[in-house]
Structure 1
Amino acid sequence: MSVASADNHRPSAALHVREILNSCSKLIIAGDPHQSENSILELVNFLEAISDAALLDPDNEDAKYNAFEVLSEVYAYLCSSLHQEVIDSLSFELPKAVSKFASVSNGCLEITESVISQLITMCSPRDMLSILCEALAKIVRTSAYFTPLLSGLSKVILSIRRHHYEQVKVAVPVIVNVLKVVTSETDDGDTEIEGLFDRAVGIASSIHTVCSKLALVSISLNHNKVSCQHLVSQLSRLFPYCGLSYLGLITGNDVDKMTSIVIGGVEDEDDYISCLSDVKLGASLSVIWGHISDEVAQAAEEDLTTVKDELRSSQLRRWQTVGMLKHIYSFVSLPSDLKKHAIDFLLSITDGNVSQTLDDEYIDLALYMPSLFTALQAIKMVIIYAPNTVLRKLAFDAFKRVLADIPTSHRFEILKALITNTDSSSMIAILLDLVKGEMHSESCKRISKINDEVQQTENKECWSPLLWNANVLELVELVLRPPKGGPPPLPEHGDAVLSALNLYRFVLITESTGKTNYSEVLSQNNLHKAYHEWFLPLRTLVTGIMTENRNDSDQLADDTVCQLNPIEMVLYRCIELVEENLKPPT
């Protein structure tokens, strides 16, 4: 069949749109702006007339077929060899004009998406982002109009090579507004809404892909807090529509609920589960931004004071919150300012009269300990790597608050695990000092209880030590005789060694003075072990290093001697105490 014969078999509308497109091309190439604008306007008006005819009479199959053929002609024309200036000129008006066809039929929707996709391929992504956002800003009653535009937007976002955030910042408010308008005006019987939100999820996936390159919007905006606050406010306005609350987000309950919906029935869950930490990070950050800015909290229709009161009154929810906040503390690329605000939030919910009674007495505490341990690990990293003293101090206060919120029966095991999984000598020293402080507090309670029993002999109870047990000697041994063998490296581990010696001295003096042996520190086997396996090898090492460095006159040698002086003093005191207790009683 000849070309002329094929043209004769096409609907007159398809032939007419081809004629208009050819006319547009000639006028654009000729450089006649006035005539070319008129020709493009004629094209737009003609396309609107065709789409309106099909939409006004949904049962008219001829009108639907006509619309499909016209749309197919436009797509075929764009796929032919065209000058770039022709494509650029048509791209300004075609997305809006062809999107009206999306409601005609599924076939028209597919062709419409193909037209927009072709324009994205051939035009500048930044230009197309502006064009699509302008088209999305148009008020249209049917939700299907927005579907191909949102689909195109997800492709444009992935096509942009530079300044991702600035481009996404432009698009997000437009998307949010479209979804808000459509959800508020959609009828119950509107089946097109599902496709619209499917495209919106596609945009979210594209933004997620971009954000994975940028690490997160919050990271890239360390220098522009106001802009980020505006963006978060726009997103926060969606929370009420999605059934999300600050309490549900910060405890992770809403995240778990929505995750179960998303992955329900999916055969391969790995892709979804791999993104779960990002989702939890985002959920935590959304609440922290509400803590930072009243404007953001108001956009989410939340009262943060009420949320904090709820967390103070429920130990279980507080533990869940700590488990969520760890995603902020452990995310290396987040600005320190955001981590500081997250620490402030944690301090605010553990301040004052907080409840330490579980909502359900049958809850298995052990289920929550791994999450609390990893949270303490994350806070510990903030303490170690914080860029300033203020943040380090705040993080340490938060660390102690979280530790104090853990039942004593589990606290010691967590401290032991933290020490075992820490390489920093200074951090190990801090943790051992916390152990000593916990033991001192328990010892004071024991003495107070004994005094009460003396005054009220009829109410005697056997005191059961929780921290005063043989485990404390294991902590000392971890430092003074590392698992790899030999004495600890000095002076590198000087802080940890000094703290371990002080802890041993405290335990030994307290037990011998109180005539107790809860920790078994006074047993002959443990005394011999400490003396021969810990202290004598350590004394040999310290003495050798001190002798070697006292003969040198450089600054490094002087610093080494100064660092080892307190270790030497406490070490000799520990040796004396052990020798005294090893003497046979007279």
Structure 2
Amino acid sequence: MAGDSRSSSGSQISLRLREALEACSSSIETKDVIQSDEALAPVTNLLHSIMESCTNDLDEILPGIEGLEVALDEIYRFLSSPDSNQMVVEALSFELPKLVIKFAPLSVKCGEIAGKIIEHLVSVCNPREMLSVLCEALTSPADASGGSGCYSNFVFGLSTVLLRIQRRHVEQVKVVLPVILKVLNVAFSESDEEDKDSLNDLLSAAISIGSSIQEICQKLVCIFLRTIYYFCSCFDIY
């Protein structure tokens, strides 16, 4: 009976979230507004209400977390659907990272789906906007106690958007590095022996930031050398 009840609850959450996403899509497409709290409210309010069901009452924690897993999965399917309007996906990208970073530590499945959501967003949305949103999510005081396990996907996301940004690379690196150092400091200062795997994942993500910076530097050197060669050819200097 308990299993049937949870299955029914999951179906209800999926239905409610689909309706919220449809309302959000309709509002954004009609008003042609990318960033609007009012347009995103149906989705964000529902996610907050599901989050609040994860209380200290043992009878409520598991159903609440399962509800979040269902909700995150529904969101990922919406975002990755070829039928989804890119403008709607862009609008959701302003808020979803700040929400899913709170959900990611609650269960292994929440963390996995949150990672898939972030991976998709950084691959299809404006990289400059995603860099700002991810940095904001990682430095939010409300998320500082989330544990290192919820950070790595966001740090990997930052390494991806750094490579996607085409201009002002040094400026973006200067924004990202303090955020990464703060995340590492928080994660290691609050970790224990049980967090070893999560810390390893976070270190791998931090190393990926270094690899992205190295690749950016190599590109800048190539651009500089091509410029020098161009001037040399113009003035017959060899």
What TM-score do the two structures reach when normalised by structure 1? 0.33
Distance 2:166 2:117 in 1: 22
Match of 2:3 in 1: none
Q: Secondary structure at the match of 1:82?
A: coil
- Structure number, greater radius of gyration: 1
User: 5+ unaligned residues in a row in structure 1: which ranges?
Assistant: 1-6, 221-331, 333-586
User: 5+ unaligned residues in a row in structure 2: which ranges?
Assistant: 1-6, 226-238
2:102 paired residue among 85, 100, 110: 100
- Contact 1:132–1:149 under 8 Å retained in 2: yes
1:183 paired residue among 179, 188, 199: 188
Amino acid in structure 1 at the alignment position of 2:161: V
Count of residues paired in the alignment? 211
- Contact 2:134–2:154 under 8 Å retained in 1: yes
Match of 1:75 in 2: 76
1:198 paired residue among 204, 228, 231: 204
- Contact 1:55–1:104 under 8 Å retained in 2: no
- Contact 1:51–1:104 under 8 Å retained in 2: no
Match of 2:30 in 1: 30
Q: Deviations over 1:455-510 (max 9, x none)?
A: xxxxxxxxxxxxxxxxxxxxxxxxxxxxxxxxxxxxxxxxxxxxxxxxxxxxxxxx
- Contact 1:67–1:108 under 8 Å retained in 2: yes
Q: Which has the higher helix share?
A: 2
Distance 2:159 2:107 in 1: 22
Amino acid in structure 1 at the alignment position of 2:209: I
Instruction: Map 1:272-287; keep pairs closer than 5 Å.
Output: none
Going from structure 1 to structure 2, the CA distance change for 1:187 and 1:57 (only over 3 Å counts) comes to: farther
- Contact 2:23–2:42 under 8 Å retained in 1: no
1:211 paired residue among 214, 217, 220: 217
Give the CA RMSD over aligned residues. 3.0
Match of 2:146 in 1: 142
Going from structure 1 to structure 2, the CA distance change for 1:199 and 1:51 (only over 3 Å counts) comes to: farther
Instruction: Map 1:163-562; keep pairs closer than 5 Å.
Output: 163-191=168-196, 192-215=198-221
Q: Deviations over 1:423-475 (max 9, x none)?
A: xxxxxxxxxxxxxxxxxxxxxxxxxxxxxxxxxxxxxxxxxxxxxxxxxxxxx
2:90 paired residue among 88, 91, 94: 88
Match of 2:130 in 1: 128
- Contact 1:113–1:151 under 8 Å retained in 2: no
State the 1:56 CA deviation.
Answer: 4.9
Going from structure 1 to structure 2, the CA distance change for 1:74 and 1:56 (only over 3 Å counts) comes to: farther
Q: Deviations over 1:112-159 (max 9, x none)?
A: 111112112221111111111111120221123322211211111122
Going from structure 1 to structure 2, the CA distance change for 1:211 and 1:106 (only over 3 Å counts) comes to: farther
Q: Deviations over 1:256-283 (max 9, x none)?
A: xxxxxxxxxxxxxxxxxxxxxxxxxxxx
State the 1:32 CA deviation.
Answer: 7.4
Match of 1:12 in 2: 12
- Contact 1:99–1:148 under 8 Å retained in 2: no
Distance 2:178 2:171 in 1: 12
Distance 2:75 2:22 in 1: 11
- Contact 1:29–1:86 under 8 Å retained in 2: yes
- Contact 1:102–1:112 under 8 Å retained in 2: yes
Amino acid in structure 2 at the alignment position of 1:91: S
Amino acid in structure 2 at the alignment position of 1:46: L
- Contact 1:47–1:98 under 8 Å retained in 2: no
Distance 2:109 2:201 in 1: 14
Distance 1:214 1:55 in 2: 51
